[in-house]
Amino acid sequence: MVSTWTPLVSPEVYSRWLEQFQLIWVFPLLTLVCSSMAYRTMKRQDEGLAFVMSLGIFLFTYLGLIASKWPVIVPPNYTIWDASSAPESQLFLLIGFLCVIPIVLAYTAWFYWVFRGKVKVGEGYH
């Protein structure tokens, strides 16, 4: 039986990734770098850098996904500009975001400050 292999992605994504070498390959390489660094920092128990590397893994993965589909972000044929809302709506959301996010960050910082040092290693439920 002869089988023909067809990619599981759209032809545009397939051609963007595999038919010619482009700068798009930097995203999986950076994801691999972040993954290996996260693994090494977790073995050293450096939680802060492991967290940052985890953020890098998600960031570069999503950037690779966006680069794969750009500018048709919303399938099957809507560009990012077709799918966006009116500029007035975006301005309203931006103002709300700029007002609410500092409050959330301040509350989170205060919460961590109040409860710092309350749980020691070896105590608690674990």
For the stretch 19-70, pLDDT in tens is 777 788 899 999 999 999 999 999 998 888 999 999 999 999 999 988 888 8
Amino acid at 4: T
Percent share of the chain, pLDDT over 90 = 48
- Which structure tokens are listed for 27? 């995203």
- Please give the model's pTM, rounded to 2 decimal places: 0.62
Answer yes or no: is pLDDT of 9 > 90.
Answer: no
Answer yes or no: is pLDDT of 2 > 60.
Answer: no
Res 4: pLDDT? 61
Structural contact between residues 67 and 17, judged by C-beta atoms closer than 8 angstroms: no
Domains in the chain: boundaries: 1-79, 85-116
Res 70: pLDDT? 83
Classified as helix, coil or strand, 78 is: strand
Q: Cα separation of 24 and 16, whole Å?
A: 8
